[in-house]
Structure formats: C-alpha cells, structure tokens
Amino acid sequence: MSHKCKITVLRRELFPDLVERYLADPKTDKCPFFQEGQEFVVKADNYFTMLNGQFCSEAWDAISRYVYAALQGGSIMRGWTNDEKTMIACCNDGTRPVIFKLERVDG
C-alpha cells in the first residue's frame, strides 16, 4: 500500500508585540509564503525536494519528520489527536507562525 501526506494551511498568525520588539522590520506582516486553505500533497517522489521548492524550508524543517512518518504508513500522533492519521503542527517562526494540518492518505 502506498501512502501520501496532505498538508493544509489552517492559519497564519501574527503576534504584533513580538514582531515590534524582536524583528528588524517592525512592520512585518503574516507569513507571505503561505495562504489559508492552501494544500500540498507529498508523495515519496517529492518528499526530498520539499515539494520541488514549493515549501518554506523553515516550515519543512519543523514538520518533515511527521510527513515522513505518514509516508511510511505510520501513526502521526497516536494517542495525542483524535485520529492517529492527523496532526496539527506549526512552523518554528515564533512571531508569525503558520499552522498546518497533516493527514496521512492511504491507498
């Protein structure tokens, strides 16, 4: 059986107080790389290329281990989420994080 992982952008957040205090550009807005509702499908042939350059490298670094587990048919978050094939994760930008839903797709 082959597996895929569907990544959906749920939210782009912004913490203005942290942006103003810590970023070089205090007028920085939400992440421009992603949009809410955007979807990506990861398969074995595009996993190692970050979807052929369509994905932010920092966000990929934060979620890629879970995507890999899904591609192998494993449980993404057994016992943590109400469906072991689904996980909610985010990138590691603490001032303007992007929230993702990862779903293992079987078959």
Q: pTM (2 decimals)? A: 0.92
* Residues 37-72: tens digit of each pLDDT: 999 999 998 998 887 788 999 999 999 999 999 999
**Number of residues written out for the chain:** 107
Output the pLDDT for position 6.
97
Do 56 and 92 touch, CB atoms closer than 8 A? Answer: no
Q: How confident is the model at residue 98 (pLDDT cuts 50, 70, 90)?
A: very high
Give the residue extent of every domain in the chain.
3-106
| 21-48 mean pLDDT | 94
| 77-103 mean pLDDT | 93
What Å distances lie between residue 1 and 7, 34, 51, 75, 93, CA to CA? Answer: 20, 31, 21, 15, 35
